[in-house]
Structure 1
Amino acid sequence: MTKREPVAGIQPELLRWARETVGLSIDEAATMSKVSPADVTAWETGDDAPSYVQLEKLAYHVYKRPLAVFFLPTPPNETSPQGEFRTLPETEMQSLTRDTYLQIRRAHAYQLSLEEVFDGRNPAGEQIWKKLTLSQSEPVAEQAQRVRDALGITLEQQTEWKSDDQALKQWRKAVEDGGVFVFKASFKQADISGFCLIDKSFPLIYLNNSTTKTRQIFSLFHELAHVLLSVNGLSKFDQRYIEDLPQAEKKIERFCNAIAAEVLIPAADFMQCAARLPRNAELSSERDFSELASRYGVSREAVLRRLLDQGRVSQSFYRHKADLWASQKKESTGGSYYLNQGAYLSDRFAREVVGRHYRHQLSLEQAADFLGIKPRSFAGFEERILQGAGA
């Protein structure tokens, strides 16, 4: 067989499965493969088969699957995002991009790596989801205080943090100390704020690093609320999607938002601090919103949402300002490769991998594979991890 001849033994069903599990249409897969839509259709119906070169491109560059998977008798048993996440409306789920599908797949791979690296046992002394569960029928303020108590961070400590970067780093560490691993990535689908994957031993939160630090902080607690409800969650930056959800899922998303807001901006303290604003808070200055946001290490939108809940601004004013602030330039994600990669990975996971390598429990190649880096990059990465790679 030459590289131009059709490959024998490929299961058409596997080609269709591989395309659908990265959210690509036939036209999109054809464009990325540099073939016609008719070619892709013929491959998936069994009327034709790709050449070896075409199959390599499909496997490694388009569908991101091992070549061998296309010769299996049936598709592997994987849960699709549509079956796994119920917190986005069907229309929103259909709009997920290939990159988002790949990020979800990568998160599942991290969970498997966590189980292997930690020998199946979560290293946290107290696992927060076993110590604390949330209920939609109980008062939000009381439950949010229990979350804060479990994380061991007081309001006084929070208000002393000097930057959004420091706030994210401290909150993230507290969540990881509770046994929930926090990973990040720069999503190409910019409107995704994050998601979580529940698990009996290794629950995981995955944040979009392309959003601001304050947005990541809110997403961290929104997803933590999902974990404490034992519900997988996938959320977007623009909260208007919630209104299109079925009633049960709508209640879950509103509850998770309420818990996140109350943990980060306790209502009693906010009432006192916001008392100096005009009764009609729409007359407040940008500086007023910024100072309140800075106190809690949250976004101006989160502060404005609190004022909306108090009836001190209108829905139209809130939406106008939220859209305006969202359109403003987001934080840069440039800088050192090692700094960025260290921030993307769970700190506890990265330190354990580095430690196991130096205890001769993992080879350089194995450690680099777990960390998603080249072996030659390990020394520079390890230095950043041991120094503390940031939020």
Structure 2
Amino acid sequence: MAQVRVTALRFSSMLENRGMQATHVRDGLKVEVDVERLASEDLDLEFEQLVALAKRFKKPWPYLLVDAPETLGARPRDNRTLANRRHPLSPELVDEVMRVEAMLEASADLFPEIAFEVPTSAITLNTPVVDAAAAIRELLGVSWEAQIGARGDYASLRLWSLALQERGIYVSMRRLEDATVRAFSLVSGEQAVVVADTQDVPYARIFSLLHEYTHVVLRTAGVCDLDDYDTVERYCNAVAATVLMPGALLRRELPKRTWGTSIEADEKEIAALANRLGVSKASLLIRLRDYGTLSQEQYDVLERRRSERRGGDEKPGGTYYPAAINKVGRRFARGVVGAYEAGTIDRQDASTLLEIPEHNFHSFRVELAKAGRGE
């Protein structure tokens, strides 16, 4: 059986970039490969071994045949807070970041006319939160009526996702296996992407997307845990919450009641108000604290109780193609399919950019066409 040469230069650089040992790779392989030897010398592998090794890294098998070290773009800024700050990015997250970087590189080549937009007035950490949020909401153009009128959580997610994409921002929904990361964003030249974790419920993902877009506006894009301790993270949380819940909207919707007399009653009201506004409970609590409705002590109690229950109301994901489309985002997906239809790229390249097997490309195109302009 024919064999193919994999170089130690390529393999060892892939290990180094992910902070992995060769033994970590062997643990997840379906076939026998002498990974320790491959880390130090070139090896000829059977095609079955090559495919298994590539699958372990979630890469197409030709990726391992390049006789050059794997290069990464600039590592994303680490916006995680508290103890997370000292944790290196997990190998799984490095792979996700690299795939998103590939999206941006392809976008720059295939769609150079698309550039992300930010408010015309400069926004910095010294900009009042209310002013920054008002400028972002005006740019995105989401009305109160559209927000409150969205029929359910996924409709709300599509509403805000489409608003971002219409401003040249690529939106990507991915499963982030690194427990210290809730979302991330990357900027490369005129291209920008915001990524939300599919393990979060839709309302939480909306908040993540707006949080990450605020990082893009501030030029502080990177990986985030969305905790509220670091100055930049606290600012992005406050802006995202205020974009979703401007003061005038809160004044109209807040019930006339006294807060803090009953934790259970407060939680019930938080749940009802969050559902009515189409926002996550976490973002609503942040907004009510910053708005002065809740004291810091009341916020701490309610947020701790919410956090302890986090994940209990998550919904299962959809079918294969909606998830595959959302992984790269409809704007990017339409662009890649359009490039294929125009003859700019072939089906194999299109499938690689869309992160799907080539044999699924036709059905992907069909499902994307059915999806229309929603996101």
Q: Which amino acid aligns with 2:243?
A: V
Q: Which amino acid aligns with 1:303?
A: L
**Root-mean-square deviation (CA), in Å?**
3.3
- Paired residues for 1:270-281 under 5 Å: 270-280=250-260
Match of 1:145 in 2: 134
Match of 1:161 in 2: 150
Match of 2:314 in 1: 330
Match of 2:276 in 1: 295
Residue 16 of structure 2, aligned match among 12, 20, 33: 20
Shift of 1:160: 1.7
* Secondary structure of residue in 2 paired with 1:96: coil
* Secondary structure of residue in 1 paired with 2:224: strand
Residues 266-289 of structure 1: per-residue CA shift (max 9 Å, x gap)? 134324533423232635254411
Q: Which amino acid aligns with 1:345?
A: V
Aligned residue-pair number: 365
Match of 1:102 in 2: 95
Shift of 1:307: 3.2
Match of 1:128 in 2: 117
Residue 341 of structure 1, aligned match among 300, 306, 324: 324
Shift of 1:93: 5.7
Shift of 1:49: 6.1
The alignment's TM-score, normalised by the length of structure 2, stands at 0.84
Q: Write the distance in 2 (CA, Å) between the matches of 1:277 and 1:50.
A: 72
Shift of 1:198: 1.2
Identical aligned residues as a percent: 22
Q: Write the distance in 2 (CA, Å) between the matches of 1:261 and 1:28.
A: 40
- Paired residues for 1:357-368 under 5 Å: 357-368=340-351
Shift of 1:172: 0.8
Q: Which amino acid aligns with 1:203?
A: A
Shift of 1:327: 3.7
Q: Is the 8 A contact 1:60 1:67 kept in 2?
A: yes
Q: Write the distance in 2 (CA, Å) between the matches of 1:86 and 1:96.
A: 9
Shift of 1:167: 1.1
Unaligned stretches of 5+ residues in structure 2: none
* Secondary structure of residue in 2 paired with 1:262: helix
Q: 2:343 aligned with 1:377, yes or no?
A: no
Q: Write the distance in 2 (CA, Å) between the matches of 1:252 and 1:93.
A: 17
Residues 158-211 of structure 1: per-residue CA shift (max 9 Å, x gap)? 122221111111111111111111111222335532111112211111221221
Q: 1:132 to 1:356 in 2, by over 3 A?
A: farther
Unaligned stretches of 5+ residues in structure 1: 244-249
Match of 2:288 in 1: 307
Match of 1:247 in 2: none
Q: Write the distance in 1 (CA, Å) between the matches of 2:27 and 2:349.
A: 35
Q: Which amino acid aligns with 1:84?
A: P
Q: Write the distance in 2 (CA, Å) between the matches of 1:76 and 1:375.
A: 24
Match of 2:302 in 1: 318
Q: Write the distance in 1 (CA, Å) between the matches of 2:37 and 2:350.
A: 42
Q: Is the 8 A contact 1:305 1:318 kept in 2?
A: no
Match of 2:55 in 1: 61
* Secondary structure of residue in 2 paired with 1:189: coil
Match of 2:206 in 1: 217
Q: 2:181 aligned with 1:189, yes or no?
A: no
Shift of 1:99: 1.9
Shift of 1:146: 0.8
Q: Is the 8 A contact 1:198 1:231 kept in 2?
A: no
Q: Which amino acid aligns with 2:27?
A: T
Q: Which amino acid aligns with 1:270?
A: L
Q: Which amino acid aligns with 2:233?
A: E
Q: 1:374 to 1:25 in 2, by over 3 A?
A: closer
Q: 2:371 aligned with 1:388, yes or no?
A: yes
The alignment's TM-score, normalised by the length of structure 1, stands at 0.81
